[in-house]
């Protein structure tokens, strides 16, 4: 075996590389386990409730940084794309009173929008591509750009950088993938305070009031 290695340098090189791969792979595997950093589960849960538009209207560069800030004590009402529904969900998660949306960060819209590039006016400057936080714009320098609608979050960060003002934010009609039933009111929410106070025990059991 030793003679073969001496006579064939290529085999010895391959054997050496294989040995180094095994050694360094073992070191990296050990380091990954030994120095693994666990993420904060509450940050992950908050981030899942945010709309993932990455628009920065909350004052942070994306939804994950805002989730971290909320976990660190920041207010939960700075997300216009998520609106009151997101605020209520985060408040419920953190067991807080749900405040109204902070108007300083924008207004809630019921209509989802996506960017649309008027392609015959596009000069291929790539400034919109650089501004897009989710890589939803396809194109290259001095070539026409277009928006991948399924990836666009409607953050409108690409509009201002465009030097020829050829990007519009157009409303998107809801289709089957977006359609869902609205949650019905609970029995307690349906009852007026006067009826709730006068309800008897048997009625309460029958109505299954929380």
**pLDDT value, residue 48:** 94
**pLDDT value, residue 183:** 64
Low pLDDT (below 50) residues in the chain: 203-207, 209
Give the number of other CB atoms < 10 A from CB of residue 208: 9
**pLDDT value, residue 146:** 95
**pLDDT value, residue 171:** 92
**pLDDT value, residue 2:** 58
Domains 41-105 and 113-171 share a fold: no
In contact, 171 and 111? CB cutoff 8 Å: yes
**pLDDT value, residue 80:** 95
* CATH class entry, domain 41-105: mainly alpha
CATH number of 113-171: 3.30.70.20
**pLDDT value, residue 38:** 60
Domain ranges of the chain: 41-105, 113-171
**Which whole-number Å values give the CA distances from 117 to 31, 138, 181, in the listed order?**
47, 11, 33
**pLDDT value, residue 197:** 58
- Alpha-carbon distance of 162 to 124, in angstroms, equals 10
Q: HSE (CB half, 13 Å, CA atoms) of 64? A: 5
Give the number of other CB atoms < 10 A from CB of residue 114: 20
């Amino acid at each position: 075996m030793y003679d073969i290695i001496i006579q064939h340098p290529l085999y010895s090189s391959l054997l050496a590389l294989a040995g180094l791969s095994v050694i360094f792979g073992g070191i990296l595997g050990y380091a990954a386990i030994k120095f693994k950093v666990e993420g904060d589960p509450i940050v992950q849960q908050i981030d899942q409730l945010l709309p993932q538009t990455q628009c920065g209207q909350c004052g942070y560069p994306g939804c994950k940084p805002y989730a971290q800030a909320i976990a660190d004590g920041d207010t939960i009402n700075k997300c216009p794309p998520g609106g009151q529904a997101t605020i209520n969900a985060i408040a419920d998660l953190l067991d807080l009173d749900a405040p109204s949306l902070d108007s300083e960060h924008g207004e809630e819209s019921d209509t989802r929008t996506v960017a649309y590039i008027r392609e015959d006016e596009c000069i291929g400057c790539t400034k919109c591509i650089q501004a897009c936080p989710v890589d939803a714009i396809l194109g290259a320098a001095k070539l026409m750009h277009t928006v991948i609608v399924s990836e666009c979050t409607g953050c409108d960060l690409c509009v201002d950088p465009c030097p020829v003002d050829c990007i519009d934010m157009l409303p998107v009609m809801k289709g089957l993938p977006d359609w869902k039933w609205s949650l019905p009111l609970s029995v307690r929410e349906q009852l007026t305070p006067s009826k709730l106070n006068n309800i008897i025990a048997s009625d309460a059991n029958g109505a299954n009031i929380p």
